[in-house]
Amino acid sequence: MTSAASRPREPLTTEQTRIHISAERRIAPGREVRLRDALDFWQFAGAAANVAMQMARPGVGYGVVESTVESGSLMAHPWKRARTTTQYLAVAILGSEQEKRRFREAVDVAHRRVHSAPGAPVRYNAFDRNLQLWVACCLYIGFEDAYQLLNGKLDAAQAELFYQSSPALATTLQVPADLWPATRAEFQDYFNSAAALAVPDEIVRNYVDDLLNLRMIAWPLRVLFGDLLKFLTIGFLGPYFRDQYRVEWRAIDQRRFDNLFRFVGFVNRFIPRFVRFGPTLLLMADLRRRIRRSRPII
């Protein structure tokens, strides 16, 4: 078992905050890769880990746990919440400026109700740009990690180009463009610094434990997929976040995780792009249909 969670006394390192990406496989030099190339359906394998990372910041964690927006509750409506979150990612990457604006307006309506009560021990507001920036950083890391696990390690130039295509993950919320770190190196420095504030308490840990164990879905699905999804979720968490959530991750688990994505990455080469990207394209089609018919977006 990893050590108990505690507030870090020194700045965190990239080795602490990020997962291990094997250097055995590398993407061909000179190949240009952007965020829209990372919309493979295996991208969603790390979705629960991304939620856990976001919630490790107390302001985000308590905003989720205490939210009175029942229609968007992860535990009460897991499939709807999954749809709206993944649809947000789709529109941020593929949507027009008008579609991004419409989605932002819909999110704003829900966010107006997400704020701490007067005198609450943990203060938060869904319009806090620093918390929104943290959420967007976690989303970016989910894309970068999943892409590299499937396709191979990006070199410095490729990683920079990939990063430069990502600001909409933040600006489609309420984060001003100038608040998004200008370079990939600055982003990692910011994330390492911001992660030091990610110290969940027992209330948030218990909520995330329910998420890890899929207690929000029907038991037959938990029996069928629970072990796999818990394994993937822990695998997509950096060592520091595993410590904070007090979950075990052994060397043999890392080898199994690496081998799984080595196999999946190989198989993916033979799956047509339109199939791999199909879920995201369907989400965009659904969003456009909702806008066209004036139906609720989230």
Rounded Cα distance, 93 and 17, in Å? 25
Is 124 domain-assigned? yes
Question: What's the whole-number mean pLDDT along residues 117-140?
Answer: 94
Is 143 domain-assigned? yes
Is 129 domain-assigned? yes
Nearest to 38 by CA among 184, 181, 157, 139: 139
Is 297 domain-assigned? no
Is 142 domain-assigned? yes
pLDDT of residue 43: 82
Q: Are 117 and 132 in contact (CB under 8 A)?
A: no
| Residue 96: domain span | 14-292
pLDDT of residue 73: 65
DSSP letters spanning 137-176: HHHHHHHHHHHHHHH-B--HHHHHHHHHT-THHHHTTT--
Is 211 domain-assigned? yes
pLDDT of residue 130: 95
Nearest to 38 by CA among 226, 198, 165: 165
Of the given ranges (107-116, 151-160, 246-255), which has the lowest mean pLDDT?
A: 107-116
Q: Are 50 and 287 in contact (CB under 8 A)?
A: no
**Element containing residue 107 per DSSP (H, E):** helix 97-111
State both tokens at 26.
């590398």
Q: Is the pLDDT of residue 183 over 90?
A: yes
Is 4 domain-assigned? no
pLDDT of residue 75: 66
Is 40 domain-assigned? yes
Rounded Cα distance, 250 and 229, in Å? 17
DSSP 27: P
Q: How many domains does the chain have?
A: 1
Q: How confident is the model at residue 3 (pLDDT cuts 50, 70, 90)?
A: very low
pLDDT of residue 76: 66
Phi, psi (deg, nearest 5) at residue 26: -130, 150
pLDDT of residue 81: 76
Q: How confident is the model at residue 71 (pLDDT cuts 50, 70, 90)?
A: low
Rounded Cα distance, 179 and 182, in Å? 8
pLDDT of residue 5: 43
